[in-house]
Structure 1
């Protein structure tokens, strides 16, 4: 660790730290001394700069502490407390995703997710999260909390197809728009879609895949969503594309789907189902598919070793971004196929493409802050969304999370 004094620029010179803040800084200092990958520069409220880790590493992060209260939030709230402190403007970083990436590589050393003293704060978050388990009524409320922020808000950073899921990039110079269309084509191919087929889509989004499958492939599409905002805009976009005769956009819970279809596609919807209802989701897919039919599903996953901790607790994203959300593991997905005729045929991780997708979304979001404010969102909301996009990018870059495209086939006999 090196220590030097600098002109802090935007770093505030706050009042003398409290006893708790001083104790929190000592704990943080000890964790930073244990860095094993990369380096983190800490700029303290008095302008002092301290460098921890390997200054020659390619992985460099910088955190600027504006108020001593930030130390207290990290100590008491751990990773979630650090995110809350960012939302409140207590600290910042010139490259937020790079900082979080270094922190993720050193998660065990920094120990921001363990500690008996964090139990009270975590218990409150966990109980609140469990109260939002995705029953039919809660699912509608949970989806509305995130997706019904307003269609115009999402237009500010998504591509023209209004696709809010990872693209699949084929090359370094491919545009986000082209990569999203490539993703749709991959999902269709993996489902075995051909002209004239009737495909069920679980989770409409704003209609991007339905428009692709009908307009480019000549499929009939029945697509279901429980977001009123997405339902309204998807119907409008389908009509504007001249595809209303091929695409039926329904405001319907996946548990209420009826009919039999040639194929099923579901893109980053499974994260909104929850542990208690995975079985219901896959039973619905099973009922909907013709024998021999395929389901092409894209889903954000956690490694199985991290699944139970995510299920039992409530992390920052579950608390502030996706109420009721839970990312399954591949093992949990396969366990919940028991009792169905679905066989897992393939799983491909596209996490590197999600890193780039999220980076492009964040750049577009930050370039449109005046428009975000004009829609009535305040600075705390802006910092929350910046943190969400940067945190997600770092998670996919470091392997804390993955994004799998899986193929299920209805061909197994039920025991």
Structure 2
């Protein structure tokens, strides 16, 4: 088991991990009181690969079935144990050296030039709408929900999120709105029903664009809402308001200047942009190798320091900043529960390995937001300091007014 046993002794500071090796011999690694997990390894190659590429090797081994859990332990238990001990793993000498080497190549890892960006998006979002319907809310919002109360349904929390974003956009009748990375169209359709505005949604996913267009047609909103298969960098119109939800994670650090430059040119001096993105509270880093390879090629959730630097260089005012800290952990927990209820259907659509891959993705992401360094931030931007009201009460007041308007107008999308 060496060198894996050496690393595990340094890794487990809280809880207990029992590793049963390929010969059936148990190895116990114990720290302070905490979760207890039993894991079996059936491939001797894992003794080394788990040391030199921990996250990639663990994810692939779970997908392949060469890493499995026993004595009542589950993947969730293991990923919880991993998450609460992650800092000690990061400080292990070999991991520190490997991280330093990998950081030199992170710009290449986050390449999202035109064409390549569309291929990266298609890898994840064009799996098929029927697949995403198995675990998302009824309107297919694939981003962090906003739980005003802990017992709210996923559908209620996603509506809360749309309402919160709309409040920060300070919409007025007659405005033109751009939705960058529009997903399956729910935010654009909600805004058009809420206020008399025109909305253009752009996406690089063919599946999303097709369904969003159909939804606009079904709602009778095709005159004011349109969805295009288009890179945001190819948009040249001017918009009073710009919103982007869950897309910035796919931009890549080397393209941040390009992104904020484009925002600057797309809106007038009194325009407002609202950016909803995953970030992290730790210093700049990189996405896990497993996540990049299997789930989100080219993706990276930034440190706030990486974002502010480029915003400043592009002379944009940050007129509001809000952090949604545990809301995404709760959102992901809902997704995991719905995914597990439909797991047999996922296996029928794809196969067992694919189902294991998505289990690993969803649960590991939940842990990143529950006990790791991940968070979601809302950043409101403008070219002028007074484009939005200078007292923040308006965000709460507008949300209350929109609740009444939703009921009056019977907004269902």
- Scaled by the length of structure 1, the TM-score of the pair is 0.84
CA 304–109 in structure 1, closer or farther in 2 if over 3 Å, else same: closer
> Number of matched residues?
379
**TM-superposed deviation, 1:54:** 3.1
Measured against aligned partners, the alpha-carbon deviations of 1:121-147 in whole angstroms (never above 9, x if no partner) come to x86x98698266111010011011111
SS of equivalent to 2:140? coil
Distance 1:192 1:202 in 2: 17
2:85 is the alignment partner of 1:106: yes
> Which aligned pairs between 1:40-189 and structure 2 lie closer than 5 A?
40-45=16-21, 46=24, 48=26, 50=28, 52-55=30-33, 57=34, 60-69=35-44, 70-93=46-69, 94-111=73-90, 115=94, 119=98, 130=108, 133-189=111-167
Distance in 1, Cα, partners of 2:120 & 2:171: 31
Structure 2 spans left out of the alignment, 5+ residues: 387-413
Q: In 2 relative to 1, CA 107–410 (structure 1 residues): closer, same or farther, beyond 3 Å?
A: same
Q: Contact 2:134–2:342 at 8 Å: present in 1 too?
A: yes
Distance in structure 2 (CA, Å) of the matches to 1:113 and 1:277: 32
In the alignment, what sits opposite 1:384? 357
Q: TM-score, normalised by structure 2?
A: 0.84
Instruction: Tell me what 1:350 maps to.
Output: 324
CA distance in 2, matches of 1:249, 1:287: 21
CA positional deviation for 1:362: 1.1
Structure-1 residue corresponding to 2:396? none
- In the alignment, the residues of structure 1 paired with residue 224 and residue 331 of structure 2 have an alpha-carbon distance, to the nearest angstrom, of 30
> Would the aligned equivalents of 1:195 and 1:218 in 2 still touch at CA under 8 Å?
yes
**1:100: Cα distance to partner?**
1.9
Please name the residue that 1:402 is paired with: 375
For the structure 1 residues 86 and 245, does the alpha-carbon distance in structure 2 shift closer, same or farther, using more than 3 Å as the test?
same
Q: How does 1:133-282 map to 2 (within 5 A)?
A: 133-282=111-260
In 2: Cα distance, 1:282 partner to 1:117 partner: 32
Contact (CA 8 Å) 2:110, 2:253: kept in 1 or not? Answer: no
SS at the partner of 1:221?
strand
The change in CA–CA distance for 1:61 and 1:321 in structure 2 (over 3 A counts) is farther
Q: Structure 1 pair 203/85, CA: closer, same or farther in 2 (3 Å)?
A: same
Q: Deviations over 1:163-215 (max 9, x none)?
A: 00000001111000010011011011111123332211111100010111112
Gaps of 5+ in 1: 1-21
Distance 1:332 1:108 in 2: 21
The offset of 1:79, in angstroms, is 2.4
Is this contact kept in 1: 2:179–2:243, CA < 8 A? yes
Q: Displacement of 1:243 after TM fit?
A: 1.1
Cα distance, 1:41 vs structure 2: 3.5
Distance 1:61 1:350, change over 3 A: farther
Asked if structure 1 preserves the Cα contact closer than 8 Å seen for 2:9 and 2:29, the reply is: no
**Residue 369 in 1 paired to residue 348 in 2?**
no
| Alpha-carbon shift at residue 379 of structure 1 (Å) | 1.7
> Cα RMSD over matched residues?
2.6
* Deviations, residues 24-62 of structure 1 (Å, cap 9, x unaligned): 342244225x50x3x13425153747462233x4xx152
Report the CA distance between 1:341 and its aligned residue: 3.9
Q: Quick one: distance in 1 between partners of 2:16 and 2:212?
A: 44
Change (3 A) 1:218 1:350: same
Q: 1:370 to 1:112 in 2, by over 3 A?
A: farther
Contact kept in structure 2, 1:301 and 1:404, CA below 8 Å = yes
Change in 2 beyond 3 A, CA 1:381/1:398: same
Which one of 23, 27, 52 corresponds to residue 2 of structure 2? 23
CA 1:63–1:258 in structure 2 vs 1: closer, same or farther (change >3 Å)? farther
CA contact (8 A) 2:41 2:66 kept: yes
Looking at structure 1, the residues matched to 381 and 40 of structure 2 have their Cα atoms a distance apart, in angstroms, of: 48
